[in-house]
Structure 1
Amino acid sequence: MALPIIAGAAGTAALTAYLNAKHHIVYDISNTGYMLVQLRKVTKLMNTRVAQKRPLTYHVFEDQVRKQPDHPFLIFEGKTWSYKQFFEAIIRVANWLIDDLGVQPNEMVAIDGGNSPEHLMLWLALEAVGAATSLMNWNLAGAGLVHCVKICNSRFLIADVDVKVNVEPSRAELEEIGIKIRYYDPSMFTSLSNSKPIPSSRYENITLESFRTLLYTSGTTGLPKAVGISAARELTTGHLVAKQLKLTPKVTMFTFIHAGATIALGRKFSHKTFWREVAASEASIIQYVGELCRYLLNGPKNPYERAHKVQTAWGNGMRPDVWEPFRQRFNIPIIHELYAASDGLGSMFNPNAGPFTAHCIGLRGSIWKLLMGNREVIVKMDIDTEEIMRDKNGFAIRCDVNEPGQVLHRLTPETVAAAPTYYNNEKATKNRQIRDVFKKGDLWFRSGDMMRQDASGRVYFVDRLGDTFRWKSENVSTNEVADMIGKFPQIVETSVYGVLVPGHDGRAGAASIVMADGVTGSTFDFAALAAHARATLPGYAVPLFLRVTPALEYTGTMKIQKGRLKKEGVDPEKVTGDDRLYWLPPGSESMGKAEAGSTKWVANKMKSKGLQRLRWWCEPCQKQCRDANGFKCHVQSESHVRNLQIVGEDPKKYINQFSNDFQRDFVNLLRTAHNEKWISANKFYNEYIRDKEHVHMNATKWSSLTEFTKHLGREGICHVKEDEKDGLMIAWRDTSAAAVARRNEIAELEAAEARSGAGEDKMLKKMAKRAQEEAEAKKAMEAKRAAAQAAIQQQVTPPAEEASLTQDKKPESPTDEQKQGEEKKDEEETKTDAAPVKLSFGLKAKAAPANKAGLGQMKSQSIFKRKKDDAPEQKPVKKVKL
């Protein structure tokens, strides 16, 4: 009976091992469960400290002084301070702050300096007097330094003499806003003598919610923002990290007060002295950040690099291409990768000692999913707009396995107060929060980080949201590309970013590299680099541009600065310094050097064998076949049949999808390449199909280019006309509100001008006709008057014989009766002729300009007024001047 029992036990053990491997039960219990237990402990700790009115890190240090006064606290440049010695120095500095500077409780004080015992003393002394600390990045100068000092509302900037060169150029500007600058050095702090105890009244009103420290973001995309760290967060972080690293008083850590450990501190990082200082301090843990490990790995061999006692390297930012080489070369068994951010929520720890969890930042099992699955999620993102993708109901879409997305943390009324806030910047704080994610009214916190989780539960950091770019309809992670390019043996440093290329949507990949020592432009193997990139990266992720630079720019936290690289792009005329720019033509085996002013030339050269796709391309399978025989074999393949079955379930859906993609890409290229200029539809279609990733028209609902072009015209998407020489012509139509308003305004102006011109022509024609009629009437009237006068003269002239007798006498004037008779006769004679007219050229009041824009246009109406006289005028009518 023993055998079945043993077999059953073995089966149970095997089943347990399988379940553990699949659901990571042991890991979740030892990590997630452990952290939950520690969270309960830290909550109890905070409540106790609040009750004692001792909630600060200074009070934790004070407790360690009582427990182990003679235990080494700090090792710096060969000198050691015990907890008691360092505490006494803190008290002296605290009294200087009170007596000389008049620092008040809860006042914010800015301090600026690199790693030194004095900087650490100053921070803890400010806590001792109840003040809050604004920790400046000691690399800052100029506008960045002034900005950080200004937003923290400090009266003082207390700076190390070593950073005086950064501070003094801004002294006038700082003093203008009321900032008092004080410098410190070791001799100054040594000269202090007042060791009077600090009264507890200075910090008894401090709460867990009070801001105790301001930390600044790295400022890679703009000016740094200040993140407020509360007393509760200080206590929680210090306690949890000490427990996670299993720190004890026996541990020396090369960079924790909560565990009473010894800190070994270096003034400044240098790969030449780093391992010697680590060996001398006998540190068992070292701390890294950003690209520090890559610097060490790229440095020359050092006799101390394996002659140390380090068991754990702890920090954040270890890249996958550095991970294992760093462990093997420097003989460090455990790489403890941390994910956290000063302006973020949540954290992950990965104490990695083997291949399974290498390169990731955390491991999630079924227990974690059960407890935390609805508190922290990864959602799909639109990389172009950096907005969350939503379903038909308007809610966020969770990412699938291995699909990158942004991490969101749920905020509840109980936890929203603990969410990170930017100091004196409410707008930036609100921008990190988002509502209506999975249901109406819910509230979530944006991490700003892209991550993915594989089928085994391992979580990988992908990229910062702003660094990921989109090319050929695919999302490209700059970190993943940099990891692969960085493995090329002739490269020591790599920075990858996206750049705009004329005539193309999205951003193309560009890599800025630093060559290894001894490698020059003439000895660098560009063909091998191109082959390496194509072998290790998807086609869309291979960088098309290469920038060779002597050195990359870094922030104070060892993060690569990409702002200038993105701004200069791939225009050779904008590339600064001694940098050289190369590009990789599609299909080529090497990277050719770009000529000055050749951006447009580069865009024209970025072509593919698009015409080949017109014949043997399968859209549902996204597969290019070589010839008719290859296509015939493909359509009989299992994968093609399976894809067709999927398409056949809802063919209308897929045809509409292909049609929408085709129209979107077609119109986008038309807009970016030609804007609103006319071009032959057939000619432009040949431009469009040069892109080997284009959607084939045969997969759409349009059977011909003509039908598709007319569709664009009917829908008002494009202007379409027919030309005798070039056939159908097409031009993009800008349908934005601004463009429509601009076109309407132009049309109104043109119509107004047309109406104004037509009115003026009509008026001139009428005036000419009237003038002609008046001239003819005047001529006829004068002729009749002349005839009438002649007749009168003939009637009143005496005979010739009588004339001689009366020649000295004047003829008698006609009587009144005769005059009336003559006038009556003349009136009767002229009744049949055109009546004389008067022309009135005065504008009527209602004939004011009709166009309010002041174009002088008048309404189309007659401005002439015809008047008949009761009797013909004796005086001739005045001539009209046109």
Structure 2
Amino acid sequence: MYVLFTLLAGLAILPFLVYIRFPYFLHDLRYILSGIRLSTRIGIYSSRKPCYTILDRFLDRVKRHPHKKFIIFENDVYTYQDADRQSNKVARSLSQHAELQEGDVVALFLGNEPAYVWLWLALAKLGCVPALINYNIRTKSLLHCFSCCNAKVLIAAAELKDAVLEVLPALKEQNVSVFILSKDCDTGDMESLADKIEKASDEPLSPAPKTNLTIKSPAMYIYTSGTTGLPKAAIINHQRAWLASCMQTLAGVRADDIIYVYLPLYHTAGFLMGLTGAIDQGITVVLRRKFSASQFWNDCRKHNVTVIQYIGEIMRYLCNTPKKDTDRTHKVRLAIGNGIRGDTWSEFLQRFGNIHICECYGATEGNTGFVNYVGKVGATGRVLPLLKKAVPFALIKYDTERGEPVRDSKGFCVEVPTGEAGLLVAKITKTAPFTGYANNSQQTEKKRLRDVFEKGDQYFNSGDLLKMDEEGFIYFQDRIGDTFRWKGENVATTEVTDVLVMLDFIEEANVYGVKVPGHEGRIGMASIKLTEGMEFNCSATHEHVKAYLPSYARPRFIRMQSSLDVTGTYKQMKVKLAEEGFDPSVTDEAMYFLEENEGYIPMTKDIYNAITEGSRRL
């Protein structure tokens, strides 16, 4: 009897002992089982001839629940069946007027609206590949997007017609057909499309042959900024599209959820983790043109939203809104995203209630990623030994001054100890490939690190500094190189530099990102050397950057220097300048601040204090 009692007592306290030794055991087990199920599912999709795509998933959803709400946009509601029929009309119009063939690339240049979804579905039905272009870019960058993915057709929103007109002669030289989403068009080299769609039948076309379609075939191109200063077209094949879409499953999204998508559809987060992830789950999407802090919770309450997406800045904006008695009056239970700071994370939960935040890490073109499925505040993911074996990665020592990894006496990279920040690199293998950038072998090669730990190996260079603690939680630290992130967008310093030196009074420019207290990422700053005998023109500089750069890429601070320091290999020195930041007391030379309504004005200590204290918004 005593032995039996002892045995039962031991069994009773066993879960407690397991919890003490392995506090995240159940979380880990659930995540591993989910990962195995998803891998098996994608393996089945891959084995089909042709492979099973997200379009196929959508069509299955249409058959399963045709009358379920799919898209809620402003005052309009579209069911899964409505979306199917609308995309049929678009497909018929493009088939007739754009003469598209299977495999052709079509560039989409528009903001968040249902037409974006119909266009993508239509192109998938025609066997074409969409290129999702950032609607903020202009001129040189916009043209570059066509050359790197060989787009045959451009479809643009009516409100972006002027941006298209700026590059229309060059587009015609490349034989690009241009369609504007309006019912009429008075420009001879463009065609209207909305009127053609309106007249088209909503009956389905004969299915595209898809004879050569595999899981490795391109599903779309998503553009990412890089050190070249011009957008690069990351090749998203069907496998990568599925992996990103399945993020909702890993985060715990259910079939009865309603997701709020306001992040731009030209981004991986908005399109794959948001839209196509919702299709995979068969759920309803509340689509909004742009983020609005003042309307965010009103939208959530109005549409019974249960899942939201975010980037770090969004959470901070929400926390900065005036407090209300209704802050916890909503049905949101899950937030999926990346880039939230630990202090903002805690403040958000305290104010808006028990919302599970699923922070994740990944790059559009990268071959690895992490998920903080536990919900530990501040961490961007959790690393299991099993995961590291399946997809090998490492955090290696990086010399920020030299701009390269530290190597030992044998020429191999050196891993950082636990708790120290290092450059994330992920081994390129068959199971974790790096597909690179379309028609850009030079930039593709730059992202490959060779002979990292042994001769002949290859690793993907993430360009990000991360650190890992003893429990296996991983934390984002910073970005390296010539790209920084501000307001959820990547800013290429060389692109901004090229724009600045177009001004005749600027001889040289060194662009970098600087930290601002209370803000995620880094804000743009430029140190410039003036052309001899010329003065800095505040208004001309303001008008120039407004014309050539999106708002998030415009330098908010400009520092004058008599000469710009370079390394022995003539690389610009950025680290010291970035550390000194925008404090006018660090230099005797002039410094300017970009006040959006006034232009560049002299930087003062009062402005500096107001920014660092948070009383002046950026």
With the shorter chain as reference, the TM-score category is 0.7 to 0.9
Task: Identify if the C-alpha distance between structure 1 residues 563 and 445 changes in structure 2 by more than 3 Å, giving closer, same or farther.
Answer: farther
From 208, 212, 229, the counterpart of 1:205: 212
Aligned-residue offset at 1:334: 0.8
2:164 is equivalent to residue 173 of structure 1: no
State the AA in 1 paired with 2:468.
Q
Residue 442 (structure 1) aligns with: 457
2:125 matches 1:118: no
**1:347 aligned partner:** 369
- Structure 2 Cα separation of the partners of residues 580 and 420 of structure 1: 46
Change (3 A) 1:201 1:126: closer
Identity %: 28
Conserved? CA contact 1:266–1:277, under 8 Å: no
How far apart in 2 are the matches of 1:39 and 1:234?
A: 13
- Against the structure 1 CA distance between its residues 468 and 582, is the aligned structure 2 distance closer, same or farther, given a 3 Å change threshold? farther
Q: Distance in 1 between matches of 2:44 and 2:392?
A: 23
Larger radius of gyration: 1
Greater strand proportion: 2
The residue number in structure 1 matching 2:236 is: 229
More off after superposition, 209-218 vs 325-334: 325-334
User: CA shift at 1:591, angstroms?
Assistant: 7.4
Q: Cα 1:192–1:267, aligned 2, differ >3 Å: closer, same or farther?
A: farther
Name the structure 1 match of 2:409. Answer: 392
Cα 1:33–1:562 change in 2 (3 A) is farther
1:32 aligns with 2:32: yes
Match of 2:286 in 1: 264
Greater helix share, structure number: 1
- Quick one: distance in 2 between partners of 1:278 and 1:307? 10
1:138 counterpart residue number: 135
DSSP-derived class of the 2:44 partner: helix
Cα distance in 2 between the residues matched to 1:480 and 1:446: 22
Q: Give the corresponding residue for 1:327.
A: 349
Instruction: Give the alignment partner of residue 378 of structure 1, picking from 374, 391, 395.
Output: 395
The amino acid of 1:45's aligned partner reads Y
Distance of 1:7 and 1:313 partners within structure 2: 40
Task: Indicate the SS of the match to 2:22.
Answer: helix
Matched, 1:363 2:385: no
Alignment map for 1:52-451 (pairs within 5 Å): 53=50, 55-185=52-182, 188=195, 191-218=198-225, 222-238=229-245, 240-255=246-261, 256-301=278-323, 305-351=327-373, 353=375, 357-368=376-387, 371-372=389-390, 375-412=392-429, 414-415=430-431, 418-451=433-466
Which amino acid in structure 2 is aligned with residue 329 of structure 1? R
Amino acid at match of 1:31: Y
* 1:452–1:434 distance in 2 versus 1, CA, 3 Å: same
On the 8 A contact 2:514/2:522 being kept in 1, the answer is no
1:368/1:131 Cα in 2 relative to 1: closer, same or farther (>3 Å)? closer
Runs (5+) with no aligned partner, structure 1: 470-477, 487-491, 503-548, 585-589, 594-882
1:697-776 maps to which residues of 2 (within 5 A)? none
Q: Aligned partner of 1:407: which letter?
A: L
Q: Distance in 2 between matches of 1:438 and 1:467?
A: 25
CA contact (8 A) 2:89 2:200 kept: yes
- Distance between the aligned counterparts of 2:115 and 2:435, measured in 1? 29
1:95-154 CA-partner distances (Å, limit 9, x unpaired): 001011111110011111001011110011001001110111011122221221232222
Q: One-letter code of the match for 1:421?
A: G
- Going from structure 1 to structure 2, the CA distance change for 1:176 and 1:201 (only over 3 Å counts) comes to closer
Deviation at 1:40, TM superposition (A): 2.2
Q: Which residue type is aligned with residue 159 of structure 2? A: D
User: 1:223 and 1:265 mapped to 2: Cα distance?
Assistant: 29
Q: Secondary structure at the match of 1:195?
A: coil
Tell me how far 1:204 sits from its aligned partner: 3.2
Q: Deviations over 1:403-452 (max 9, x none)?
A: 0001111123x346x31311100111111112211111222111111100
Shift of 1:251: 1.3
Who is 2:21 aligned against? 19
TM-aligned CA deviation for residue 156 of structure 1: 1.7
Give the counterpart letter for 1:168 in structure 2.
Answer: L
Aligned residues: 510
Most deviating of 255-264 and 214-223: 214-223
Q: Alignment partner of 1:214: what SS?
A: strand
Q: CA deviation at 1:78?
A: 2.4
Q: Post-superposition shift, 1:157? A: 1.1
**Structure 1 segment 266-665 matched on structure 2, within 5 A:** 266-301=288-323, 305-351=327-373, 353=375, 357-368=376-387, 371-372=389-390, 375-412=392-429, 414-415=430-431, 418-466=433-481, 482=516, 485-486=517-518, 495=522, 561=553, 565=557, 572-573=589-590, 575=592, 577-581=599-603
Matching residue of 1:4: 6
Query: Which amino acid in structure 2 is aligned with residue 401 of structure 1?
Result: T
Deviation at 1:468, TM superposition (A): 10
Further displaced range: 564-573 or 297-306: 564-573
Shift of 1:368: 4.3
Shift of 1:467: 7.2
Secondary structure in 2 aligned to 1:575?
A: strand
Residue 556 of structure 1: CA displacement? 11
Question: Displacement of 1:248 after TM fit?
Answer: 3.6
- Does the residue aligned with 1:359 lie in a helix, a strand or coil? coil
Contact persistence 2:257–2:284 (CA under 8 A) = yes
SS in 1 for 2:136: coil
Give the TM-score normalised by the residue count of structure 1: 0.53
Deviations 1:28-86 (A, max 9, x none): 32223431332122112221xx32x2533222111111111111111111221111111
What is the CA deviation profile of residues 13-39 of structure 1, one whole-angstrom value per residue up to 9, with x for unaligned ones?
Answer: 443223213xx4333322234313321
Cα distance in 1, alignment partners of residues 405 and 233 from structure 2? 26
Shift of 1:8: 3.2
Q: 2: distance between equivalents of 1:111 and 1:242? A: 25
What residue in structure 2 maps to residue 831 of structure 1?
A: none
Question: Is 1:129–1:203's contact at 8 Å kept on the other side of the alignment?
Answer: no
The answer for the alignment partner of 2:499 in structure 1 is: none
8 Å CA contact retained: 1:379, 1:398: yes
Aligned partners of 1:578 and 1:562: how far apart in 2? 11
Report the Cα offset of residue 339 of structure 1: 0.9
For residues 444 and 567 of structure 1, what CA distance do their matches in structure 2 show? Answer: 37
In structure 2, what residue type is equivalent to 1:461? Answer: F
Equivalent residue of 2:229, what SS? coil
Higher RCO structure, 1 or 2 (CA under 8 Å, sep 6+): 2
Work out the CA distance in 2 between the residues paired with 1:346 and 1:40: 18
Note the aligned Cα RMSD (angstroms). 3.5
Give CA deviations for 1:711-760 in whole Å, capped at 9, x if unaligned.
Answer: xxxxxxxxxxxxxxxxxxxxxxxxxxxxxxxxxxxxxxxxxxxxxxxxxx
Distance 1:205 1:368 in 2: 32
Q: CA deviation at 1:574?
A: 5.7
Equivalence for 2:570: none
Task: State the alpha-carbon separation in 1 of the partners of residues 148 and 559 from structure 2.
Answer: 27
* Structure 1 CA distance for aligned equivalents of residues 525 and 202 of structure 2: 57
Secondary structure at 1:291 match in 2: helix
Matches of 2:196 and 2:604, distance apart in 1? 54
Letter in 1 for 2:116: H
Q: Which runs of 5+ in 2 are unaligned?
A: 184-193, 262-277, 485-511, 530-541, 561-576, 594-598, 612-618
